[in-house]
Copies of this chain bind each other. A is one copy, B any other.
Amino acid sequence: MKPILVFQTDFTYKESAVSAMYGVVKSVDRELEIMDGTHEIPQYDIWSASYRLFQSMRFWPEGTIFVSVVDPGVGTPRKACVAKTSDGYYVVTPDNGTLTHLTHWVGITAVREIDETTNRLKGKDTEETSVFHGRDLFGYCAAKLASGLITYGQVGPEYSVNDIVTLPIHEPKLDGSKVRGIFEIGDPNFGNLWTNIPLSMFTGAGFAYGDLLNLTVRHEGQVVFAGKVLFHRSFGYAKKGEVIIYNNEIMKVSVAISQGSFCQRYNLDFGPDWEVEFEK
């Protein structure tokens, strides 16, 4: 069976760019199965694109081809590539940092630059266009690969995985009785914030479900939240409106408000300048 194509972009569904992109895929091979990853990555936010791939990829069948198009450098000389992960997935993407988390946490075993002379859409009177590689290059090339019209080797020339563009990753620390990290991503729907701290580090620090922990959040060094917060397995263990520390869906320590938005209530965000510290 031909691999599934999972698309993620910052295009939204507000107009018909996604439709044109998917039409190209179906024109290459009517049998191909297309799934929406998300089309609501924040605009130009390569970090989020990288995180969303990492967060969802392992749950798909091996061999699935992800097409990620968050591409502020479209039409400039940044590379367009297809990467292969150590666990058997493919990612078709601009090589602009989108492969950061997969490189660090999963491993990329090979990467090839897409050859535009053979793997770019032709014949729609739009060949002079340089602003829509999701449709003309990434989607088209991914469809050819999924359909078996080209092999991975025919994507284009291989280059060193050491040359993949990556953004800096911040590591959490167990520091005496304290666990320190950053908020590295948010849940833009429910307003939860996810740290870079794995649950195992909490276990190592002796923190257990039911504990009240001192949580301190600093933005650019300034304390913006400090309080004793319950650490438990899910939101429902806190009263509605209370802050709770929990283990998120990919086993990272996270902070939420039960049936509320932690982000919005305390005006918080994520990134390397949002430091968190937990202590019993």
| Cβ–Cβ contact A38 & B13, under 8 A | yes
Closest B residue to A76 by beta carbon equals: B236
Contacts of A258 in B (CB 8 A): 72
| Cβ–Cβ contact A40 & B55, under 8 A | no
Given A1-B30, A15-B187, A259-B44, the answer on whether A131 and B55 have CB atoms closer than 8 Å is no
Given A59-B135, A76-B237, A189-B12, the answer on whether A250 and B36 have CB atoms closer than 8 Å is no
Does A231 touch B at the CB level, under 8 Å? no
| Cβ–Cβ contact A236 & B73, under 8 A | yes
| A side interface size, CB within 8 A | 75
| Cβ–Cβ contact B126 & A249, under 8 A | yes
Q: Write the A4-23 contact mask toward B (1 if CB under 8 angstroms, else 0).
A: 10101011111111111111
Given A75-B233, A76-B236, the answer on whether A56 and B16 have CB atoms closer than 8 Å is yes
Does A174 touch B at the CB level, under 8 Å? no
Partner of A38, one of B14, B37, B234, B251: B14
Contacts of A75 in B (CB 8 A): 233-237
Does A79 touch B at the CB level, under 8 Å? no
Contacts of A37 in B (CB 8 A): 16, 19
| Cβ–Cβ contact B131 & A235, under 8 A | yes
Partner of A15, one of B12, B44, B55, B132: B55
Does A39 touch B at the CB level, under 8 Å? yes
Partner of A250, one of B38, B43, B126, B248: B126
7 additional A-B pairs beyond A16-B38, A23-B60, beta carbons within 8 Å, are A11-B189, A13-B39, A14-B187, A16-B53, A23-B59, A23-B61, A72-B258
5 pairs of residues in contact across A and B, judged by CB atoms under 8 Å: A14-B40, A26-B60, A58-B124, A59-B135, A72-B236
Identify the 8 closest CB pairs spanning chains A and B, nearest first. Answer: A75-B234, A23-B59, A23-B60, A76-B236, A16-B56, A132-B249, A130-B233, A19-B56
